[in-house]
Amino acid sequence: MRLRVILFLMKIVGRLTLVLCVTLALWAGNAHALDKEILNSVVRIKPDWSLAARGRDATGKPRDPQGSGIAVMSGGYIATNVHVIGDATDIDVMTEDGRVLKAAIIGRDKMTDIALIKVDADLPILETAPTPGLAEAVCAIGNQFGLGLSVTCGVVSAVGRSGMGFNPVEDFIQTDAAVNPGGSGGALVDMSGRLVGMVAAIFTKSSDADIGVNFATSVPLLMRVVNDLKAHGHVVRGVAGFKAGPLPPSMAHAGGGAMVESVVVDGPAFVAGLEAGDVITHIDGAAVSSMPVLEAMMFKKRPGETMTLDTIRGEERRRLTIKLGGA
């Protein structure tokens, strides 16, 4: 019996070693791309916070707040987190090649904790990639602890995370790549050096120490917000004309969903045939597992776009299409 256990463990260790070796080999093959593309596209951000906002460290000295940012559009546009820049009006951006640039704030969206700033320089833009799959290798690049840019690697632990409690609207990629204070606003990239998310949050109970549960805002949500911030200075949301809430306990089931609580008369949802009491199970074919998921899906929609809802009314399953209103 003991021999069989030992042989089984040896087999498992062998498989894990093989996976690790393959992963390291693949990353080694992309090291040049990481060096040339990513490090020049990720910047360090130093906002000029007030002394009251900075707080003090364990020695009593004022904290030196720093974070990270990603060049997301030509013309010097850089995405970062709202919590990185705070209420600062004076922001320094430091590039990997040693430049220190003054940044102008284009807009902040507190619903998603995404901000857009601009510098008078043209930084290289990373290619974006589709949402990665579970266990795919990724690396986080950022200004961790304000020490300068560093690279930490891990895997994708989960996708489509929402309801984590950081922001009202969330669409996170979860990773075990180490992230520490200062890394917020940095890039999460795949093995080809393509951008898959913007590092946003560390899940920890009582300290800022990394415990392997970290979150990056997905590229679709990131670009949805920064494009609007560039064009309007704020996010323009599509109006569906209904309010929904979580399913009551008596109706909760493994598939999840959200219940329509009210519908605006003559609004887009009303015209499409949605009624109070309907249960929304899918939007555009994607499962609505909870209210936070529904909110994230709808947030990505712009005025004039359509969305297809799969609903349940009593015993009847229905599908309807809503054309969103708004500015």
Query: Which residues are known to be catalytic?
Result: 83, 113, 184
Instruction: State residue 83 phi and psi, 5-degree precision.
Output: -70, -15
Instruction: State residue 258 phi and psi, 5-degree precision.
Output: -140, 145
- Gap between the Cα atoms of 274 and 247, Å rounded: 16
- Gap between the Cα atoms of 256 and 292, Å rounded: 11
Long-range contacts: 245-254, Cβ < 8 Å, 24+?
245/291, 246/290, 246/291, 247/279, 251/279
- Gap between the Cα atoms of 191 and 88, Å rounded: 35
Q: Closest Cα partner for 197 from 233, 230, 156, 164?
A: 156
Instruction: State residue 100 phi and psi, 5-degree precision.
Output: -120, 115
Which token pair is 272? 């499409």
Cα 170 to chain center, whole Å?
Answer: 7
Instruction: State residue 270 phi and psi, 5-degree precision.
Output: -60, -45
Instruction: State residue 168 phi and psi, 5-degree precision.
Output: -60, -35
Residues 6 or more apart from 226 whose CB is under 8 A from it?
72, 73, 77, 79, 114, 116
